[in-house]
């Protein structure tokens, strides 16, 4: 760079510095004798502005060192907040979200194809928050749930219009089980199954996972001849190699206190219409019962499919004598068609498995 060019650059820098200092020239809002902070914000980030910055460095009236130092400290504090405080808050909120989502996933697995519609509860107040607001009004108590009851005919009609029946294959991934729904049949799954069963029986069966009827029947039919499909996640049910003796089973059921574990009509066990018979991991029988307060007896038909972590039950409850002659064959076909995953099926050896508190005999007789 020659001498003339150098002089032109210095002269331009001086003129730019004068423009910054003189508020009357470019109408800049900062006066010539303004504060050092205003002078710093008014500087342009170009070579001429940088030269003016250096010229005012250490000037008594326009010293920018302390404002610049304060801004550096503020920037460092802001950077620390962004890098440490904000991620910590995000990490603290993540488990709550994951827990709520995990709960929804569990509900969906328990209901098979059904989707849980329960709303997530609000997070509880921390002790510090409770202490800070001792006079905060208490939240209203949730309304008590209506006890289960039988639905009226009008309620049954409305319920039948909104329920969604399933055909094809029933898959229960949480249990590791599936079976093909028989032709001419359709079933309700999960929450829909429990709603239909409660509407007809007046009881809430928490073990019910599906409810199957003929495809040409609905909830409003007088006798839907429903098959209740239940899963008891109680552990492996221990068995005995000896054959099941109906006389011994009947005596045990009538002599010992009843512990209901299967879907049934209750009352008193009168006898076995079809004696309990075991074939591998499948047990089928039908029994005659006298319900409490009833003038006639009814028949309950059962088929059990044993598995590693529990037992799958198929039951037709309250059948008449005519239906009782064929219900065991119907349930046997269903139970033998069930397919469990290899890891979920009933094992050949029970060592190391979680054992149920009742045996197969206790399950059939429904005693302890």
Per-residue pLDDT of the chain (368 residues; tens, 9 = 90+): 554 444 444 454 445 444 444 444 444 444 444 444 444 444 444 555 556 656 666 666 666 677 777 888 888 888 877 776 555 444 444 333 333 333 333 444 444 433 333 333 344 444 444 444 445 455 556 566 778 898 999 999 999 999 999 999 999 999 999 999 999 999 999 999 999 999 999 999 999 999 999 999 989 998 889 999 999 999 999 998 788 999 999 999 999 999 999 999 999 999 999 999 999 999 999 999 999 989 999 999 999 999 999 999 999 999 998 888 899 999 999 999 999 999 999 998 888 899 999 999 999 999 97
Nearest residue to 184 via CA among 160, 213, 156, 220: 213
Bridge-based pairing of strands 169-172 and 298-306 is unpaired
Q: What pLDDT is stored for residue 197 in this prediction? A: 95
Q: What pLDDT is stored for residue 138 in this prediction? A: 55
Length of the chain counted residue by residue: 368
CB 277 within 8 A of CB 336: no
What is the side-by-side strand order in the sheet with 177-180?
Answer: 169-172, 177-180, 339-340
Q: Which two tokens stand for residue 84?
A: 């440490």
Q: What is the biggest distance separating any 2 CA atoms in the chain, rounded to whole angstroms? A: 125
Q: Which two tokens stand for residue 189?
A: 């799954």
CB 337 within 8 A of CB 180: yes
- Residue 308 CA to residue 281 CA, distance in Å, equals 10
CB 302 within 8 A of CB 314: yes
Q: How would you class 252 by CB atoms within 10 Å of its CB: exposed for 0-12, middle for 13-18, buried for 19 or more?
A: middle
Q: Which two tokens stand for residue 332?
A: 């046997």
Q: What pLDDT is stored for residue 309 in this prediction? A: 95
Q: What pLDDT is stored for residue 140 in this prediction? A: 57
**CATH among 3.80.30.20, 2.60.40.10, 2.60.40.1840, 2.60.120.1690 for 153-365:** 2.60.120.1690
- Residue 278 CA to residue 336 CA, distance in Å, equals 12
**pTM, rounded to two decimals:** 0.63
Q: Which two tokens stand for residue 247?
A: 């006389």
CATH 2.60.120.1690: which residues of the chain?
153-365
């Amino acid at each position: 760079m020659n001498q003339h060019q150098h002089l032109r650059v210095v002269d331009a820098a001086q003129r730019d510095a004068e423009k910054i200092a003189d508020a009357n020239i470019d109408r800049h809002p900062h006066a010539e004798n303004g504060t050092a902070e205003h002078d710093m914000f008014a500087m342009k980030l170009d070579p001429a502005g940088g030269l003016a910055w250096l010229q005012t460095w250490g000037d008594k009236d326009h010293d920018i060192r302390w404002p610049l130092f304060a801004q550096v400290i503020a920037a460092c504090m802001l950077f620390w907040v962004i890098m440490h405080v904000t991620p910590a808050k995000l990490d603290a909120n993540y488990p709550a979200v994951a827990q709520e989502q995990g709960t929804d996933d569990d509900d969906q697995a328990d209901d098979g194809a059904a989707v849980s519609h329960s709303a997530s509860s609000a997070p509880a107040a921390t002790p510090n928050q409770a202490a800070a607001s001792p006079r905060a009004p208490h939240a209203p108590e949730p309304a008590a749930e209506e006890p289960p009851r039988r639905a009226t005919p009008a309620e049954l009609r409305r319920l039948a219009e909104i329920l969604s029946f399933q055909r094809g294959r029933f898959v229960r991934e949480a249990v590791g089980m599936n079976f093909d729904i028989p032709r001419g049949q359709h079933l309700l799954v999960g929450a829909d199954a429990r709603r239909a069963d409660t509407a007809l029986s007046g009881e809430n069966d928490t073990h019910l996972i599906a409810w199957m009827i003929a495809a040409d029947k609905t909830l409003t039919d007088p006798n839907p001849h429903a098959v209740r499909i239940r899963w008891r996640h109680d552990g492996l049910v221990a068995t005995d190699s000896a054959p099941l003796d109906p006389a011994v089973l009947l005596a045990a059921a009538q002599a010992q206190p009843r512990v209901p574990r299967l879907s049934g009509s209750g009352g008193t066990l009168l006898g076995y219409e079809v004696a309990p018979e075991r074939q591998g991991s499948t047990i089928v029988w039908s029994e005659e019962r006298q319900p409490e307060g009833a003038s006639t007896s009814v028949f309950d038909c059962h088929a059990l499919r044993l598995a590693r972590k529990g037992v799958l039950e198929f039951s037709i409850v309250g059948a008449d004598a005519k239906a009782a002659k064929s219900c065991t064959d119907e349930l046997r076909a269903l139970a033998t068609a069930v397919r469990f995953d290899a890891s979920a099926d009933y094992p050949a050896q029970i060592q190391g498995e979680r054992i149920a508190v009742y045996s197969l005999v206790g399950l059939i007789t429904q005693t302890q």
